[in-house]
Amino acid sequence: MPRRARLVLPDVPLHIIQRGNNRQQCFFADADYLAYLDWLEELAGRSECRVHAYVLMSNHIHLLLSASNVAAPGALMKMLGQYFTHHVNRRYQRTGTLWEGRYKSCLVQEDGYLMQCQRYIELNPVRAHLVSDPARYRWSSYRGNAEGHGDPILTPHPLYLGLASDAGQRRQAYRALFGSPSKQKRIDDLRLATNSDFAWGDQAFMTRAAAVRKQGQTLGSDPM
């Protein structure tokens, strides 16, 4: 049976998660995180993907990105997976797969949902009890988005830029999004949408996504 095409639309944000095989560790040292981020910067540029947020955990990664070409996210993840697997296998003298099958993804509605998805991604280390403050975790986009640390990987989404006209006020407004606890149902809905390779948003957005899937208009390359 052929695999179902991924649900990808031009310029609509996409939340991506990829886990280590059997949820095992895939980052073992600082050099591994740094290598992955170097390739993410290079390959996102090469594939014309705009990365808005990311986090690298020890056994999985999250990305939030947009692309005008629906084939671009699949091409990015294929190259990232190959490059990083080769790096880990060579460095640790191992063989075989590193990642757990195909990555998971979901479309994210912009208004009312995109900033929540960024927050969800950047709070992963806090939920995992690795840090008490997302600013203390090195391997995420939080310090770039919230504190102005230069991060060449990031391309701010227009909704992020619209938080304020002044950069300092924009970062302050972004940090304020992290001041209240997340609603568990929203987290559960995002996780379900991602694991189902579907969409996360209001009813109209979900209906539009379902219609696109039913009509077979998703032409995204599906190499992984």
pTM here is 0.93
For strands 104-108 and 14-19, give the pairing.
antiparallel
Give pLDDT, residue 220. Answer: 40
Q: Write the CB contacts of 35 (distance below 8 Å, at least 6 apart in sequence).
A: 84, 87
Q: What residue segments make up the domains of the chain, in order of their start?
A: 14-198
* CA gap 89, 15 in Å, rounded: 27
The CATH number of the domain covering residues in 14-198: 3.30.70.1290
**Per-run averaged pLDDT (10 residues), the chain, 224 residues:** 73 97 93 98 97 98 97 96 96 92 94 96 97 97 97 97 96 95 90 95 94 66 42
Give pLDDT, residue 194. Answer: 96
Give pLDDT, residue 219. Answer: 38
Give pLDDT, residue 218. Answer: 44
Give pLDDT, residue 216. Answer: 67
